[in-house]
Each structure stands twice: as C-alpha cells, then as structure tokens.
C-alpha cells in the first residue's frame, strides 16, 4: 500500500515504486525519486553493494508507540511553539491551521482492533522512517540489506518536509489489536505504529519535484502511504486514505484531491476507484527508459460538508479494505 495508492500515496522516493524520487507512498515514486534513481542504477550495475539491514538513524527502531510517545500523550508537544523556536513568522491563518493539526484525531474501530490516526511528532520520526524504508525496499524488490541506506534518504526527506507544516504534514496510524484470554475475554494489545501517509494541502506544501504525470501544485495531494506488512488486510490503508480526506476538508478550501497509482498495482487502483478517484492522466511509455513504472494520476472531488467528520471513514467494506492494504509502497 504505498505511493501509487492514488492518495498521492506514492512516497515518491523511488523511481520505480517510490524509492527514487519520492517516498513511494504505496503508489508511486514522487519526492525522493531522483536520488533513488541514481542509487538504483548503481546497484543494478554493481553487485558488490552491501549495506547493513538495520537503520542507522536510531538505536531504537521498535515500532511500538510506547517507546516514543503513546497516542494518548498528545498534549506534551506544541507545533506552534516548535515553529516559533525556528524563528519562523507565522500568519494568523497558519497559527489556526497549526492548532487544527494539533487537535486532529481520527479514530476508527476495526474488526480486529482499533486505529488512531494523527499528525506525526518529532519523537516519532525514527519509527516512521523505518516503516517507509521497509515499504520502499519491498516495493522495489530490493534486498533487505538496502533498508539502512533507504532510511538515510527517508530521514532527510521527512526532516525537510517538517518545514512545510502546516502546508503539508505526515500522518501516522497507531493500531491496537484484540486478543482473547484463556477466560474467553478480549484484551487489547499495546498501540503499535501500523501505517503512515503524507498530505499536501496547497502550493506552499507541494513537493519541489513531483512525480509524473504532474498534479496541480495548488491542489491537495496524497502520497507516501505505507502500511506495516504484519498489519495489512485489516482496513488500515483505507482508513488512512479517509483520514487524509477528512483533514484536507478541514485545512483546504479546494475539493479536488490528487494522488498517483502505479499501473501494475491493481489492488490499490481498485481501492482508489471505489473511493471515488478517477484517472486524469497516465504516464507515457517513455518513462520506462528512466527505470520507472508507469503511473496514473488520479483525482477525486471531495463532498462539501460543514462537518468533515461526515466523510465515510467506517471502512465497512472490509473486502475492499483488505485489497488496499496489499499495496506496496
């Protein structure tokens, strides 16, 4: 479930699926594609490349939320204060948007547990980087040893993208599963990072080098979506997509939302189609010469609603949700 997920869900990291130009959001490669394209070419012609399988960006790469900050402990970090520390001048509109991001929560009860989607905090960057790197490597069919190298580029990318807040933001989803005890009672597991997605709201938050076909820079764009392999087929990808749409409804006056989906990703394509996205344009066959997979640019017009929460985030169609979660970042 990644960049080509039509949620702009292509992290744009890769040229093929996302690790090259952008982090492949399970859809296609938008943002980090170029650096990864060079890497891909080098690795293709030189089999002696060897990298450690562990991300070097952090010694604690466990994906449990409690190792960084639990979803409930959301009042300890302020996006507004953090922006002031950098010396940035914030307009009144930006301050209001930062407050909206601070308070944004999208909670969904699933058949196998529950999912909480909110904005990523600085202390959660390492676990998010690891999730994206693993997703990109998988989507590109690269050896596991490349994860640490990809982590380096993803870390740089997410650090740079943090400067775009509140015009773009990374969402993360924490999953809490259910287990039956010996007594037949259900008990919940600890929250664990299960997925992530990037959302751009306007021109100031747009990627500098978006993947082709190029979406309008002033329009909301979804990309770099990834779901942890062990949590797929549970409707998490579907709910990440719907949470992104809900946040866009709060943060942008524009209703046309764009995303990329690789032509080879039939499951994500079906998901996007069912979610209301339609093909706007398709890559030329000549992109294959650049070692990239052909992608669809897809668009959906969000419903105008006074209450963005009215958008369908139920994910009741679990069969379709499961297909979505099979996407590769």
Catalytic (active-site) positions: 272
Residue-by-residue DSSP string for 58-97: -S----BGGGT--TT--SS--HHHHHHHTT----HHHHHH
Rounded to the nearest 10°, the torsion over CA 128, 246, 11, 139 is 80
Nearest CA to 3 among 240, 176, 203?
240
CA dist 309 and 252 (Å) reads 15
What residues does 114 pair with on adjacent strands?
109, 176
Q: Which residue has the tokens 């008990």?
A: 187
As a whole number of angstroms, the distance between CA 281 and CA 210 comes to: 14
Prior bond of 288 cis (ω within 30°):
no
């Amino acid at each position: 479930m990644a960049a080509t997920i039509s949620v702009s869900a292509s992290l744009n990291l890769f040229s093929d699926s996302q690790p090259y130009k952008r982090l492949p959001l399970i859809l296609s490669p938008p943002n980090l594609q170029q650096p990864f394209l060079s890497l891909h070419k080098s690795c293709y012609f030189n089999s002696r490349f060897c990298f450690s399988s562990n991300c070097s960006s952090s010694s604690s790469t466990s994906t449990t939320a409690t190792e960084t900050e639990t979803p409930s402990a959301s009042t300890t970090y302020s996006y507004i204060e953090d922006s002031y520390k950098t010396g940035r001048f914030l307009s009144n509109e930006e301050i209001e948007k930062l407050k909206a991001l601070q308070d944004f929560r999208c909670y969904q009860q699933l058949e196998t547990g529950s999912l909480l989607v909110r904005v990523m905090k600085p202390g959660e960057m390492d676990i998010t980087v690891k999730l994206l790197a693993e997703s990109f490597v998988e989507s590109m069919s690269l050896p596991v040893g490349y994860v640490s190298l990809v982590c380096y580029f993803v870390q740089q990318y997410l650090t740079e993208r943090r400067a775009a807040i509140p015009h773009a933001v990374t969402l993360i989803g924490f999953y809490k599963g259910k287990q039956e005890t010996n007594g037949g009672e259900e008990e919940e597991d600890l929250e664990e990072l299960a997925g992530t997605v990037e959302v751009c709201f306007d021109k100031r938050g747009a990627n500098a080098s978006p993947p082709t076909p190029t979406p309008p820079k002033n329009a909301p764009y979804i990309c770099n979506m990834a779901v942890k392999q062990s949590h797929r087929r549970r409707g998490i990808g579907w709910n990440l997509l719907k949470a992104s749409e809900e946040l866009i409804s709060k943060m942008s006056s524009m209703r046309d939302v764009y995303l990329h989906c690789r032509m080879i990703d039939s499951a994500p394509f079906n998901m996007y189609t069912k979610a209301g996205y339609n093909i706007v344009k398709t890559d030329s066959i000549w992109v294959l010469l650049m070692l990239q997979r052909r992608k669809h640019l897809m668009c959906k017009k969000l419903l105008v609603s006074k209450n963005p929460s009215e958008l369908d985030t139920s994910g009741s169609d679990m069969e379709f949700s499961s297909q979505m979660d099979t996407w590769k970042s």
